[in-house]
Chain A
Amino acid sequence: EAGVAQSPRYKIIEKRQSVAFWCNPISGHATLYWYQQILGQGPKLLIQFQNNGVVDDSQLPKDRFSAERLKGVDSTLKIQPAKLEDSAVYLCASSFHFRGVYEQYFGPGTRLTVT
């Protein structure tokens, strides 16, 4: 079974530039998540989709971050404009419902460096 795919794996941009990340979840997983992981910290949930609808975006800085999942499959996360503090690994995960919980599968992440 193919895992969660993310691209690019690495990105370096200057502050105030824009950047976009792409995620393709595991086939059949209706729920998709974007996390931000700053060095030395645990991942922080930015947004959760159920099919193409947003379930939770309470931690998404909506003045500069946006995300979409138009056809309920792959998803993009955009930052515009980027700030230095956005330097982090951006993780995408997808999940299915199993034994009462959503078991999440994570992609390898995109490491963003903002200079």
Chain B
Amino acid sequence: DAKTTQPNSMESNEEEPVHLPCNHSTISGTDYIHWYRQLPSQGPEYVIHGLTSNVNNRMASLAIAEDRKSSTLILHRATLRDAAVYYCILSREGGGKLIFGQGTELSVKP
């Protein structure tokens, strides 16, 4: 399974945009890119996923590099509730098996 690399932690200010990077240089053509986040004392929750094109939903945007070796999760206006660990995960052909890494711990300052 292809691996992802994320910074251990990031800080942002409330109501400012946040760009969370993820490197996946060994991604294969059929690997989907998923983002999940885990708020304190809760189970992970789905944020967004994509294959080749950029994606938008009510929670966030996913920008995928043209060579697909990296992607960026964009939170357009961070709130205190967005403080969480964000996981970038690849899945082969969209299959159910998700291999979680350490993720990026995002803190949001008022």
Contacts and interface: CB of A to CB of B under 8 A. Distances in A.
B49 A108 contact: no
Given A41-B102, A42-B102, A108-B43, A48 B49 contact: no
B97 interface: yes
Contacts of B85: 42
Contact residues of A: prevailing secondary structure: strand
Contacts of A105: 45-46
A101 B85 CA distance: 22
Interface in A71-115: 91, 93, 95, 99-109
Contact of A102 (B45, B95, B102, B103): B95
B96 A33 contact: yes
B100 A101 contact: no
B101 interface: yes
A108 B98 contact: no
Interface string B75-104: 000000000010100010011111111110
Interface range for A = 20 to 34
B96 A31 contact: yes
Contact of B103 (A42, A44, A106, A107): A42
Nearest to A101: B94
A54 B101 CA distance: 24
A42 B43 CA distance: 11
A45 B89 CA distance: 13
A14 interface: no
A55 interface: yes
Contact of A107 (B36, B43, B49, B98): B43
Contact of A55 (B32, B43, B91, B96): B96
Contacts of A107: 43
Interface of A: 4, 31, 33, 41-45, 48, 55-56, 91, 93, 95, 99-109
8 contacts: A42-B100, A42-B101, A42-B103, A45-B97, A95-B96, A100-B51, A101-B34, A103-B46
The 4 closest A-B pairs by CB, nearest first: A106-B43, A42-B100, A101-B94, A102-B96
